[in-house]
Structure 1
Amino acid sequence: MSGFPASGRRVTTVAVLVACYDEAAAWYVDKLGFTVSEDVALGDGKRWLVVEPGGGQGARLLLARADGERQAASVGNQTGGRVLLFLETDDFARDHQLMLERGVAFQEAPRHEPYGTVAVFADLYGNLWDLIEPKR
């Protein structure tokens, strides 16, 4: 009914508000093992800074420095306290342990749900994520 094709479209990049470009990029690289795939100066101190999971799997994150009081107030709470993003893994135990060793702040112990193994963690600003290994 919509007129859009069934294929050929996908969400590729999600913007996440951050307080500092370099601080945020370092956290995603050091704690989650992401890579910086783009870092382009846009003028006036703004950058197009994109990080993504290794291997280019899944959506990329545009680290968007907050501009103004309204945006700054949303850093770390873009969803009103709900989980913002889901980091899917093929080996929950491996990634959970590695993230703990790297100092990632988990909000709960791992739990087994009908859809998979999951635990909520917070990024450097407090945005909530699920680390999840879906049931196959």
Structure 2
Amino acid sequence: MKQSLLHVAIVVQDYDEAIDFYVNKLKFDLVEDVYQPEQDKRWVTVSPPGSDGAALLLAKASKPEQLDAIGNQSGGRVFLFLQTDDFWRDYDNMVKQDIQFVRPPQEAEYGTVAVFEDLYGNLWDLIQLKDDHPMLNRS
């Protein structure tokens, strides 16, 4: 059996401002942006460059309880983990894009990591795993 995560939904306030952040600041690829008239919404997915993993589904809040989740999808914990092949290249580029880091870079037993906020305040790890990390050596 083979399975994989296809999409991870993240609740956003506005499609276009979210696309601007993920595509222009984080340098993600815009995979899909399709209007769905039967539901009067858009299907918007973005993905890190070169990724063959799950894409983010930018899901615009449409109910009050969804509005409350914007920026707090995981109760203040790190929510998503952006793996990179060059931590310092991406960290420096993100700093130039005025992305806010709430925890500075540090070396850990598993790799190099720093925590940043997306445009709504959700917390992310920017991480470069060490070459011997089990997630890099799965078959």
- TM-score class normalised by the smaller sequence: over 0.9
The one-letter amino acid of 2:31's match is: S
Pair 1:135-2:130 in alignment: yes
1:24-52, Cα deviation, whole Å (9 max, x unpaired): 01100111100111111012541000001
Pair 1:105-2:91 in alignment: no
Q: CA RMSD in A?
A: 1.0
Q: Structure 2 matches for 1:1-136, cutoff 5 A? A: 5=1, 8-43=2-37, 44-136=39-131
Q: Using the alignment, how far apart are the partners of 2:102 and 2:13 within structure 1?
A: 22
Alignment-derived partner of residue 135 in structure 2: none
TM superposition outliers: structure 1 runs of 4+ over 4 Å: none
Q: TM-score, normalised by structure 2?
A: 0.90
Gaps of at least 5 residues in structure 1 are none
Q: Using the alignment, how far apart are the partners of 2:91 and 2:53 within structure 1?
A: 19
Q: What's the CA shift for 1:82?
A: 0.5
Q: TM-score, normalised by structure 1?
A: 0.92
The one-letter amino acid of 1:22's match is: D
Identity across matched positions, percent: 51
Q: Using the alignment, how far apart are the partners of 1:57 and 1:102 within structure 2?
A: 25
Q: Using the alignment, how far apart are the partners of 2:54 and 2:107 within structure 1?
A: 25
